Structure 1
């Protein structure tokens, strides 16, 4: 059972999201918060698999709350759930360690898919958000691509294979299956990749994979 913490200062929004998640028998909302500070406290108390946080909340906004949760309990997959698709919010969320960015206005199936991906060690950007991120990466020109390729050239071929699949959004279990490895070996490769490339989380690694051209299309 995937345990989820839901934080939003609007009770009706929480009710709607909770109803969507309740449609999946493998997901359970174990705690709800009406502000960011309460979200942090409940995350520490319940240790859910996934924390879905709105951006604009009283006492502590979702970006700050997510960063605090990630620092304290990195095993909790933090995802920002918002109506705002501004690039600055996306960048701040990812820099704070968030592994997902979901839009309230998106397809309910995206929410359920995102929760599953996050709970199983993957990262998840709503398709509209992913399109914005990739478009922004492409618009930065040759310099970022050159830097990313230089970084990834230091990796072994196996690490590059793992990074490419990580960038495609696969979980550790899915990568293990694809490469005929045990999941523990994949976890070791992911840890090594993050350390060697000086990256904070899987989302940052996925961005580097895109910049370096490791992901087809």
Structure 2
């Protein structure tokens, strides 16, 4: 499987460095490069990438604004945000804008390619440490009077909430299974069940919804 990637960063050296790094992978091809959010929107139409690697902070049009514009225009190309910053507010805005993944630029080639492959496969990707920052940041920013109670039509079970907490910590299904001494199949079913109850389509949004409901 070859994955075509659009690389977006306003810094030439960063773009060239990432492009050279990704050229070492047999599964990824950089088909176009953009130096701004506006150029990224134009090149998405021209190059039809499978995944977009987008810097979050750029002049003229930020990565977050570019994602919003892409979604407004009807493009559903998965976007992996890349940045040197890890503040939860930027992460939240990127996710709310429609980004499917978020990585710091200091990750290894293996992790970067893994994230690209995950997005190309319809999944989401957040570094565990970043997921923890999102959860902690949102908890700290929620006012006491907005401390919501669980209001789901079908409440989560204690076991599902336990799995949800481990998802929030960035653990994979296999790691959750090991932690809870369960089979991976059982955990997979519980993850599917809790996402259905929360009315979300991926693990990241499950965590965000659970925080809003006061479950985490």
The TM-score, its normalising length taken from structure 1, stands at 0.70
Helix, strand or coil for the counterpart of 1:113?
A: helix
Q: CA deviation at 1:201?
A: 7.2
Q: Which residue of 2 aligns with 1:112?
A: 113
**CA distance in structure 2 between the partners assigned to 1:6 and 1:47 by the alignment:** 12
Check whether the contact 1:44–1:73 (CA below 8 A) recurs between aligned residues.
Answer: no
Q: Which residue of 2 aligns with 1:51?
A: 52
Q: Which residue of 1 aligns with 2:209?
A: 208
Q: CA deviation at 1:204?
A: 2.3
Change (3 A) 1:146 1:90: same
The TM-score, its normalising length taken from structure 2, stands at 0.70
Counterpart mapping for 1:72-151 below 5 A: 72-139=73-140, 140=142, 146-147=148-149, 149-151=150-152
Q: CA deviation at 1:7?
A: 0.4
Check whether the contact 1:53–1:78 (CA below 8 A) recurs between aligned residues.
Answer: yes
Q: CA deviation at 1:209?
A: 5.2
What are structure 2's unaligned runs of at least 5 residues? 173-183, 187-191
Deviation readout 1:49-87 (Å, 9 max, x if unpaired): 211111222321111001112333443101211111122
**CA distance in structure 1 between the partners assigned to 2:4 and 2:210 by the alignment:** 30
Q: CA deviation at 1:212?
A: 4.0
Check whether the contact 2:51–2:79 (CA below 8 A) recurs between aligned residues.
Answer: yes
1:17 aligns with 2:49: no
Q: Which residue of 1 aligns with 2:61?
A: 60
Q: Which residue of 2 aligns with 1:183?
A: none
What are structure 1's unaligned runs of at least 5 residues? 171-176, 180-185
How many positions carry a matched residue from both structures? 192
Check whether the contact 1:5–1:30 (CA below 8 A) recurs between aligned residues.
Answer: yes
**CA distance in structure 2 between the partners assigned to 1:90 and 1:40 by the alignment:** 20
Helix, strand or coil for the counterpart of 2:66?
A: helix
